[in-house]
Chain A
Amino acid sequence: MNSLLFQLLQALLMVLLAPLVAGFLSTIKAHLQNRRGAGIMQPWRDIQKLFAKEVVLADHASWIFRFTPYIVFTATLMAASVVPALLVDTPLSLTADVIALVALLALARFFLSLAGMDIGTAFGGMGSSREMTFSALAEPAMLMSVLVLAIGAHSTNITTMITHTLTTPLLIQPSIAFALVAMLMIAVAETGRIPIDNPTTHLELTMIHEAMLLEYSGRHLALMEWASMVKLLLFTTLIIDLFMPWGIASEASLIGIVLALAIWLFKLMGLLIILAVFETSLAKLRLFEVPQYLGTAFVLSFLGLIIHYMLEVSV
């Protein structure tokens, strides 16, 4: 019962913190552009306003278009509650594994792409086609990267994988380094950041994720934006969980959880600052170079897998 309550609290924390994370990232980016920026709370204000606005639907919008924001938000929320942020074993993270996590994100993406095509605008269809092309390359690479760790832990369950990392002595494992680099590359692509996609662009021709949202308004848009913020937080938390889980609470004691929260926030901020620096100093990749980028991520995680067998498995 207690752990169930904690699971709910953790999911709630992820959802409520996600806009702040997006705000933090854009504030850091604003400072890197020598501006002051709108502040950490701005994404919250945007969401709040959008919920108060009218919803405008195109004449030929079908049920897919109307249902998609709810499906996408719920699927992302489910995925976010699978990932342990503060406590290692929560009920949901024990039932669902990494493959279920990827499947939940794929479900959200499937409906998002359908909704992009539903209205029939040129940009929506273009965004859907790009999203599908890149996700077909990014998903296997992500699974491969996670598998490097899963093989060491003999499980695809995130809780087991974290426990394995926490209990094994700290050694430099080259396979994990390869998997980490691959995972960072994929996380950038999956969350639609520079150099793959630009979340602040106004140029429809360069859009991937935003192009599918162009027809949404009001509360639908708010849910879509919110879901993509949750996804960003989800991926950063997943990277923390898989590659640097030290500090996460293994038992539900108050002190342990407060400490875990502080350490988690610290790591989160570190990753976001790194992301902001990279986003500011890199240009967006040409669209046709993205498959090569994702291919590189796949090759890196595959190398990690091979190195794991060559060097780290004792015969």
Chain B
Amino acid sequence: MLRILHQIMKVGTITEPLARNQDFEVLGEQLKSTVKKRFQGSLAIRLVDAGSCNGCELEIHAANNAYYDIERFGVHFTASPRFADMLLVTGPVSINMKTALEMTYDAMPAPKLVVAMGDCAINCGIFGQDNYAIAGSVSDIIPVDTIIHGCPPSPTALIQGILSTLNQPEG
């Protein structure tokens, strides 16, 4: 316990200062004000891995770590679709995950948004649309509001994607 506390003291706050990662900080501040406008300053995201290679998950994980710390913009990931405002889907939708994805979408309370993250979620990417194990891209299964390009998209691209989703006209 003392060893951990010592390490904590030694490292200090490492969330990136403004100068070192301009894009992320600037977009983050925009995100914060947009989230405030659309969701009273609290955006809950439910992540569904519909068959991804986990590359996108690593980037999402990075967005949550101490460097990027997406939580400070009022965005957090939840354990249940019932708590969520936004559904973030990664990977092509595999046949086994199709029902689960539909059920997750149905379980979410309105107003709800859907973001397809990564090239696989957009057009099945490297896995291919005619793959025997794949039911289709995310937009074939549930209505998608925005897409985030990249393989995998960086945390900055992720924030940009969330931002453009929120900036779309409501309805």
Q: Which residues of A contact B (CB under 8 A)?
A: 30-39, 41-42, 45-46, 48-49, 52-56, 201-204, 207, 210, 213-218, 221, 277, 280-282
**Residues of chain A within 8 A of B40, CB atoms compared:** 45, 48-49, 52
A37 to B42, CA, bound (A): 13
9 further A-B contacts with Cβ under 8 Å, apart from A31-B13, A37-B69, A221-B82, are A30-B71, A45-B41, A49-B40, A49-B85, A54-B109, A56-B108, A202-B77, A218-B109, A280-B4
Q: A53-B110, A56-B109, A202-B77 are in contact. Are A38 and B71 (CB under 8 A)?
A: yes
B9 to chain A, nearest CB (A): 9
A60 to chain B, nearest CB (A): 14
> Which of A32, A49, A207, A281 gathers the greatest number of chain B CB atoms within 10 Å?
A49
Interface size class of B (residues with CB under 8 A): 20 to 34
B148 to chain A, nearest CB (A): 21
B126 contacts chain A at the CB level, 8 A cutoff: no
B15 contacts chain A at the CB level, 8 A cutoff: yes
The answer to whether B72 and A39 touch across the interface, beta carbons within 8 angstroms, is yes
**Residues of chain B within 8 A of A41, CB atoms compared:** 41
The answer to whether A282 and B109 touch across the interface, beta carbons within 8 angstroms, is no
**Residues of chain B within 8 A of A207, CB atoms compared:** 79
Q: Which residues of B contact A (CB under 8 A)?
A: 1, 4-5, 8, 11-15, 39-42, 44, 66, 69, 71-74, 76-80, 82-83, 85, 107-111
The answer to whether B5 and A281 touch across the interface, beta carbons within 8 angstroms, is yes
CB-nearest residue of chain B to A38: B71
**Residues of chain A within 8 A of B83, CB atoms compared:** 217, 221
**Residues of chain A within 8 A of B72, CB atoms compared:** 35-39
A130 to chain B, nearest CB (A): 16
A221 to B83, CA, bound (A): 8
Q: A46-B42, A214-B82, A217-B83 are in contact. Are A34 and B66 (CB under 8 A)?
A: yes
**Residues of chain B within 8 A of A54, CB atoms compared:** 109-111
**Residues of chain B within 8 A of A210, CB atoms compared:** 79
Main secondary structure of the interface of B (DSSP, over half): loop
A280 to B7, CA, bound (A): 12
A214 to B133, CA, bound (A): 30
The answer to whether A37 and B71 touch across the interface, beta carbons within 8 angstroms, is yes
> Which of A46, A55, A277 gathers the greatest number of chain B CB atoms within 10 Å?
A46
**Residues of chain A within 8 A of B44, CB atoms compared:** 46
Chain A to chain B: the 3 pairs with minimum beta-carbon distance, closest first: A45-B41, A217-B82, A54-B109
Partner of B82, one of A35, A45, A204, A215: A215
**Residues of chain B within 8 A of A30, CB atoms compared:** 69, 71
**Residues of chain A within 8 A of B42, CB atoms compared:** 42, 45-46, 48-49
A107 to chain B, nearest CB (A): 24
A46 to B78, CA, bound (A): 12
A205 to chain B, nearest CB (A): 11
The answer to whether A56 and B69 touch across the interface, beta carbons within 8 angstroms, is no
CB-nearest residue of chain A to B69: A35
The answer to whether B1 and A281 touch across the interface, beta carbons within 8 angstroms, is yes
**Residues of chain B within 8 A of A216, CB atoms compared:** 82
A35 to B64, CA, bound (A): 10
B47 to chain A, nearest CB (A): 9
B27 to chain A, nearest CB (A): 16
> Which of A56, A204, A210, A215 gathers the greatest number of chain B CB atoms within 10 Å?
A56
> Which of A201, A203, A218 gathers the greatest number of chain B CB atoms within 10 Å?
A218
CB-nearest residue of chain A to B75: A38
**Residues of chain B within 8 A of A37, CB atoms compared:** 69, 71-72
